[in-house]
Amino acid sequence: MSSPGQPVQPPPSSRYSSLARLQQALALGGLVFALAWLLWWWPRSPLVAVLGALLMLAGYAVVLALEGLAAARVNVGDAAPHAGWAGITRAWWQEVRVAPRVFAWRQPFCWRRLPDDTEPRPGAVPAVVFVHGFVCNRGFWLPWMQRMRSQGMPYVSVNLEPVFGDIDDYMPVMRDAVRRAHALTGRPPVLVCHSMGGLVARAWRAVEPGTPVHSIITIGSPHRGTWLGRFSRVANGRQMRQDGEWLAALYEREAALTPMHTYADYVCWYSNGDNIVFPASTATLPGADNRHVPGTAHVALAFHPRVMDESLAMVASAGSSPSARTAS
């Protein structure tokens, strides 16, 4: 690994995000169509005008409700505690509020803000590598980055593209991010991953088992796949199918590399209100520190106060704790 010294420059790929362009077009296009509908129908029928515009701008709430109902049904046979209708409703309302901020603002328009640290900080706490999930970019992590900057904690991030590519093709991006994070402090970094990002981190570690990391924190990651994966027609979506071949092969590689305590340095946050990764217990790993947050939706889970507070406390304490095991 690199040693601290010279400034750590991010790769050229960090200056471009095709997902940001796509989400910009979708967000602005949605506003234009809603406004056009409103202006066209208002003289004819104000009710139709308002209802149509609301459907265009807030129709995603219906999709989230359907996902939540599917999750509730599938979770009936799961080992995790049941959320109940109150928990399901609470999770739905959380996601209705947070989704536009992430997918219509932070990722399309703000993803370049709060750039990765480049100045080495020898002796500091380990740097964090932020690994986003499916159909996301580094803008997803802006609230975390703000917290870390205020606490003087270094970080780097990735943009996983092509957006609908094979997870195995993201390994060079991960390799570069971990190298940059290590060079900032000279310490093995902590990986903080949301959703598919947890699988990317695991796949990278199986490819480069000798590269040390302090620990890996996953948030709503489909470690054993997700029920929704059966409907995906894109490469990384198919890889997240429950009981899928790609996940089975990943488990085999990990077990061969580290037969004992395979996931001892993982912390897995999961929820019975997750509307994307379900059954709920599929976001856990055997032998990991699995932490349940009741009644919290998939994206909202990443910004839950307990998840952020405890995860950042782990990073802060990692500066005075021994590095996690390095697989060999």
Check whether residue 116 and residue 186 sit in a common domain.
yes
Instruction: Determine the pLDDT at residue 130.
Output: 98
| Residue where one domain finishes, among candidates 42, 58, 74 | 58
Which H or E run contains 128? strand 128-131
Angstrom distance (rounded) from CA 87 to CA 163? 31
Q: Is residue 63 part of a domain?
A: no
Supply the pTM of this predicted model: 0.94
Q: Is residue 191 part of a domain?
A: yes
Angstrom distance (rounded) from CA 231 to CA 67? 13
DSSP-derived pairing of the beta strands 289-292 and 266-270: parallel
Here the contacts of 142-146 (C-beta below 8 Å, separation 24 or greater) are 142/106, 142/110, 142/113, 142/114, 143/303, 143/308, 144/192, 144/308, 144/312, 145/114, 146/114
SS3 assignment for 136-174: CCHHHHHHHHHHHHHCCCCEEECCCCCCCCCHHHHHHHH
Angstrom distance (rounded) from CA 153 to CA 297? 27
- Number of domains present in the structure of the chain: 2
The amino acid at residue 266 is Y
DSSP-derived pairing of the beta strands 155-157 and 128-131: parallel
Name the CA radius of gyration of the chain, rounded. 20
Q: Tokens 């000279």 label which residue?
A: 186
Q: Give the range of the structural domain holding residue 296, as residue numbers without chain letter.
A: 111-318
Check whether residue 221 and residue 133 sit in a common domain.
yes
Q: Is residue 131 part of a domain?
A: yes
Q: Is residue 189 part of a domain?
A: yes
Helix 18-41 vs helix 46-58: crossing angle, to nearest 10: 170
Check whether residue 137 and residue 270 sit in a common domain.
yes
Check whether residue 54 and residue 121 sit in a common domain.
no
Instruction: Determine the pLDDT at residue 234.
Output: 98
Instruction: Determine the pLDDT at residue 123.
Output: 72
Burial annotation 176-196 (CB, 10 A radius, 16+ → b, else e): bbbbbbbbbbbbbbbbbbbbb
Q: What is the DSSP letter of 261?
A: S
CA neighbours closer than 13 Å in the CB half-sphere of residue 118: 8
26: number of Cβ within 10 Å: 13
Check whether residue 48 and residue 164 sit in a common domain.
no
Contact residues for 220 (Cβ-Cβ < 8 A; gap 6+): 133, 194, 195, 269, 270, 271, 274, 276, 277, 283, 298, 301, 302
Instruction: Determine the pLDDT at residue 326.
Output: 42
Q: List the CATH number of the domain containing 267.
A: 3.40.50.1820
Q: Is residue 3 part of a domain?
A: no
Check whether residue 44 and residue 172 sit in a common domain.
no
Instruction: Determine the pLDDT at residue 198.
Output: 98
Q: Is residue 158 part of a domain?
A: yes
10: number of Cβ within 10 Å: 19
Mean pLDDT of each 10-residue bin along the chain, 328 residues long? 61 79 97 97 96 96 98 95 95 98 98 95 89 98 97 96 97 97 95 98 96 97 98 98 97 96 97 98 98 98 98 90 45
- CA torsion sign for 193, 198, 203, 205 is positive
Instruction: Determine the pLDDT at residue 328.
Output: 30
Check whether residue 54 and residue 162 sit in a common domain.
no
The amino acid at residue 84 is G
Instruction: Determine the pLDDT at residue 318.
Output: 87
Edge-to-edge strands, sheet with 190-194: 155-157, 128-131, 190-194, 215-219, 266-270, 289-292
Check whether residue 183 and residue 267 sit in a common domain.
yes
Q: Is residue 195 part of a domain?
A: yes
Check whether residue 117 and residue 261 sit in a common domain.
yes
Check whether residue 252 and residue 115 sit in a common domain.
yes
Coil, helix or strand for 113? coil
Per-residue pLDDT tens for 145-179?
999 999 999 999 999 999 999 999 999 999 999 99
Angstrom distance (rounded) from CA 144 to CA 140? 9
Which H or E run contains 240? none
Check whether residue 53 and residue 190 sit in a common domain.
no
Instruction: Give the C-alpha distances (Å, rounded to integers) separating 98 from 64, 75, 91, 152, 239.
Output: 12, 23, 11, 26, 26
Instruction: Determine the pLDDT at residue 41.
Output: 96
